[in-house]
Amino acid sequence: MATLIHSTAVIHPGAELHPTVEVGPYAVIGEKVKIGSETVIGAHVVLDGWTEIGARNHIFPGAAIGLASQDKKYDGTDSLVKIGDDNRIREFVTINCATYADEVTLIGDRNLIMAYTHVAHNCVIEDQVVITNAVSLGGHVHIESQARVGGMSGIHQGVRIGRLAMVGGMSRITRDVPPYTLVEGNAARVRSLNLVGLQRAGLLDLDDGRVFQSLKKAFRLLYRSGLPLNEALVKLETLLDNEYVQHFHRFLQLSQQEGRRGPTPGAKVGEEADDE
């Protein structure tokens, strides 16, 4: 174990590190940190608070994880940061703990979080998400699996970003981003289906293309028909022939619940991208 931990690293005796964990120069690891097998902790990383990190993660130099929530209501109570397996957390990423006791800031598996990204208190990032450089997530943001967020985007607190959505770089996201869509702008607008993401996920050809055709019909009903959203959602109930359209419908219904900010609106006439 000693050969995998640099002599300048500062590790509290109470921390729990698997024998295969590597720790770089000048890293600091606090008392309540747990780290799983084959995880690599880079130089000058700070891990503190109630932080659990799974297996085969690589945390690059300068990242700071588990430090106090920046929520003004945070009173120093013990709350959790939990990180799954096979994540890449790049240079100077910050991930804060949750605000209240028994709450969690959660990172799933196989995510790439690029340099200078901030993940605030109580955020949830599911699996296979890519967050590009210098993105800022407000508190309670939830990003579903396989979504992509372009660099230097700002995500308002409480926003939900749907599965396989793509947020263009430098976007201002103040409302929920529907699954499978491409959203960009300041203020952001839904431009089209995320064709590149759908293709990479194999959905263009799934069930001989019928899944994609259903998604395209749903998208056109919601964003090209001119119907008010509530009316479009009622009509969409006749197209729920697969789990992907069902998720699309359910996401938009939840987005309109009391206390939520509602879904990102569609592009204005003439601004739409090609969704063929």
Distance CA 176, CA 154 (A): 13
List the alpha helices (DSSP H) in the chain. 195-200, 210-223, 229-236, 243-255
Give the three-state DSSP class for 232.
helix
Contacts for 201 with CB less than 8 Å, ≥ 6 apart? 146, 164
Residue 76, amino acid? G
pLDDT of 258: 87
Query: How confident is the prediction along the chain (276 residues), in pLDDT tens digits per residue?
Result: 446 999 999 999 999 999 999 999 999 999 999 999 999 999 999 999 999 999 999 999 999 999 999 999 999 999 999 999 999 999 999 999 999 999 999 999 999 999 999 999 999 999 999 999 999 999 999 999 999 999 999 999 999 999 999 999 999 999 999 999 999 999 999 999 999 999 999 999 999 999 999 999 999 999 999 999 999 999 999 999 999 999 999 999 999 998 898 999 998 655 666 554
For residues 236 and 218, the answer to whether their CB atoms sit within 8 Å is yes
| Dihedrals phi, psi of 210, to nearest 5 degrees | -70, -35
CA distance 51 to 59: 13
- DSSP-derived pairing of the beta strands 148-149 and 130-131: parallel
Question: Residue 143: beta bridge partners?
Answer: 125, 161
All domains of the chain, ordered by start, with CATH?
A: 2-140 (2.160.10.10)
Where are the strands (E) in 2-79, listed by range?
10-11, 16-17, 22-23, 28-29, 33-35, 40-41, 46-47, 50-53, 58-59, 64-67
Confidence at residue 63, expressed as pLDDT on a 0 to 100 scale: 99
* CA–CA distance, 83 with 183 (Å, rounded to integer): 27
Tell me the C-alpha distance between 37 and 17, whole Å: 8
